[in-house]
Structure 1
Amino acid sequence: MLTRRQLRIKVMQAVFAFQRQQPDELKSLETFLNTSMTQTYTLFLYMVQLLVKLHEHAVDKHELAQNRHIATDAERNPSRHLIDNKILLKLRESQELVDALEKRKIDPWHLDSKYIHNLYDKIISSKEFVLYAMEEEPSLKRDLKFLLNVYENLIAPSDEIMDYLEDINITWMDDYPLVNSNIIMFLRKVKPSKDVKMPVLVKDQDDIKFAMDLFRKTILNSEELEGRIEGKTPNWDKERIAPIDSILIMMAQAEYLYFPSIPTKVTLNEYLEIAKDYSTPKSSTFVNGILDRLLKELTAQDLINKVGRGLM
């Protein structure tokens, strides 16, 4: 779920917090970083459980409609398409999802059902549902298409849902696009004939070690890393360099110097992309120029030692 780029972003946030707080020891910020990484998975669980809660609400509404004494036949027997959706049914019976929620001692949306009710009403009145309810032949393909359309067009862009999640954890807004992309991939893999397999936080535990090491190397060598930046920016005072740019340049240097298995081209490309998303409009050009000069300087000083062919 968490890519190396996402891990770099979380390290960037932790370094930024360190520079602002200046704690006596790294342990508290390392805990912050570790929590930030695991909270991404918690957000994923929130969004999956949102779909389960929508299904539960649909079932409840259907049962209430059938028990009405004064109602038209259409009101008493509304469309069953949503409650018969094969993917939603499979998610609702997933023991792996239940176990994941219990392991983290969370019960998403239990005390905030109004968000479920509002979203349900929005879905039922949407064109996506109208078209879905008109289809007579049930199929997994139809159910998946509807669910993906609803998620991409109604759930993910919902300001109400995003505001709610941001109130729970402000850092989730950085994770939200990544988690939503993972939800789409996850839903495509749900099959009625198989147990639901929940994704893992990272594909390789070495990725977690990479993030922690990158944070430590950047902080513990910050004076040296910052020192190299000075003199490379003749037209910029230190105070005029965007804080995020400075952090990204430090982190990239740390990768150049202390991570022999990561190619310098990968490092350069990753930090340019992060600069585009998280700093000023001109940051990627600025960061690219500084990192290119630093790479040439460090290479000339024989300070970059990469392991493996083609890693320079």
Structure 2
Amino acid sequence: MIRMAKPLLKKAVVNLLKIAEQHNLCSVAIPAISSGIFNFPLPLCADVIVTTIKQYCKQKKANSPPFKLHLVNNDNKTVREMERACKKILSCHEDKDMPPTAKVHLQPPDKANTHEPTTMEKTELHEEEEQVNFDSYKAIVSFVNIRNVHWQFLYLNAAESSVYLVDPATNSNEQGESDNAAQRFRDYFKMRRICHGKTDWVDIKLKGNVMHHPVQQDSNSCGVIVTMMAKAVMEAFPQPPRMTFGTTTDEMAVQRKHFALQILKASVFNTEANCAMCAATKPPAPGPSFTDWIQCDSCCRWFHKQCLQMDTAEWQKMKNVDWKCILCKK
């Protein structure tokens, strides 16, 4: 039985990786397939999965788009087996047979990554967080990142049995994408019942739906718009939201500033040692080894000259006058 199941498991992992590449996915999570209700031996399962991943990555083309591989499960025993298999099979990280864009790196969950590899391909081990009881919630608000270049807004309303996958840009297939998202969530809740005996939300017949919303007018404000969508939904809940905010370039600039001010006001850090703009002791961008600072004479917050984009002449001038930061100028 095990001899027959082993090639099937290998085929399942290969198919999963192929589909991920075909759809240009940024990351893929692979659990210990078949080690649960099918009782496939856990150590062998982990070995087959990790070996298959390694073999697949060796065959990747040099110009193939890289993606992250996450080996996951919801219990410590399985995660430890996955980690054992990775250490055993992926122990030679500098395998010369592996193409530069297809190396697999092991990053155990209990160790910080001290060296960020130049390749984007990694195998990471994660333990699932404590199981959530969805019956305790009436709705879910989240965001979906599309290939690291675009954001969409995700909203599940249990009372309406509706799933909204909202694209801030013009998208004629918004209904179809919401339908697809609803199907995936229905499958997910069925999986929780089969694998974990969880019945919360499993009987809700989720369906895709669309909502009227302002449309993105530039190429870089999707993150701002989906954040404003989430705000509108949460403020109106349980009633349908009325999204009337503007999306012109000027209006998006004003909203970005508003968000930045809110984040700065809510920030908690050492005000005597950290910049109130970047929250770090050193400016994030490259610059001179010596860091120039300026302090607001009203709130006493400190700022990097570089973060404020001040030139030296302006900085020297502001040091000798009563200078107020952007928070205190309002």
TM-score bracket, shorter-length normalisation: under 0.3
The one of the two structures with greater contact order (alpha-carbon pairs below 8 A, sep at least 6) is 1
TM-score, length basis structure 1? 0.21
Q: Which has the higher helix share?
A: 1
TM-score normalized by the length of structure 2: 0.20
Task: Looking at secondary structure, tell me which structure has more strand per residue.
Answer: 2
